[in-house]
A and B are shown apart, each in its own frame.
Chain A
Amino acid sequence: KAGVTQTPRYLIKTRGQQVTLSCSPISGHRSVSWYQQTPGQGLQFLFEYFSETQRNKGNFPGRFSGRQFSNSRSEMNVSTLELGDSALYLCASSLGRRQFYTEAFFGQGTRLTVV
């Protein structure tokens, strides 16, 4: 059974540019969550998508956005990149059943460096 796949694994971007990251969840999983991990702030929740709808949102500026497709694959976009956006971006996949708190499995992450 394939795990969570994130692409690309590494990215280098310039301040002011925008970037799109992709996540393919485990087959059958309908929930995709995105997290940012930095040495200073640790792991922080960005947002969660379930059935193509944003179900939960963290405390990040509007420059961070996402979407989910009908096949549950998800993309995350960051516009007008800042140096502080340099981080490991992690996608987590779960079954996402509404009434139960299901386990979340992480992809390998995308390491974004903003220069």
Chain B
Amino acid sequence: QKEVEQNSGPLSVPEGAIASLNCTYSDRVSQSFFWYRQYSGKSPELIMSIYSNGDKEDGRFTAQLNKASQYVSLLIRDSQPSDSATYLCAVNGLRGGGNKLTFGTGTQLKVEL
């Protein structure tokens, strides 16, 4: 079983729609969760972090965390063609501090005109 799982996509949504990206993780004691956006040929860019159960909103982005279900999601409202990219879910499962991110394989999002 992969430690962090994402649907590879592509996920196609029309411009203006809500894109919903999902991620599950296997290590129940994981404490911090991140979403990165990666454009083709570029490095990952951090767009959201979430540490506690519930929703966290930042502009058009909402991250949702459910630790009981070991599930993280990212909602993108009013999707734009510029949102077309690969979205990487990352989990930091370290208990004693430090940064060791485990990444999913990413979901490719295509926003169509």
User: Residues of A with Cβ closer than 8 Å to B?
Assistant: 31, 33, 35, 42-45, 48, 50, 55-56, 58, 88, 90, 92, 94, 96-109
Tell me whether B43 is interfacial, beta carbon within 8 Å.
yes
Among A88, A94, A104: residue with most chain B CB under 10 A: A104
- 19 A-B residue pairs with CB within 8 Å: A31-B99, A42-B103, A43-B88, A43-B101, A43-B103, A44-B103, A48-B100, A50-B98, A92-B99, A94-B99, A96-B98, A96-B99, A99-B97, A101-B51, A101-B92, A101-B94, A104-B34, A106-B43, A107-B43
Question: How far, in Å, is A109 (CB) from chain B's closest CB?
Answer: 5
Interface residues on B, range: 20 to 34
Question: Within 8 Å CB of B62, what residues of A?
Answer: none
Query: Are B99 and A56 within 8 A (Cβ)?
Result: yes
Query: Are A42 and B105 within 8 A (Cβ)?
Result: yes
Question: How far, in Å, is A113 (CB) from chain B's closest CB?
Answer: 14
Known: A42-B103, A42-B105. A101 touches B43 (CB 8 A): no
Which of B46, B94, B96 is the one whose CB lies under 8 Å from A104? Answer: B46
Interface SS of chain A: helix, strand, loop or mixed? Answer: strand
In the complex, A33 Cα to B100 Cα: how many Å?
A: 8
In the complex, A96 Cα to B100 Cα: how many Å?
A: 11
Question: Within 8 Å CB of B100, what residues of A?
Answer: 33, 45, 48, 56, 58
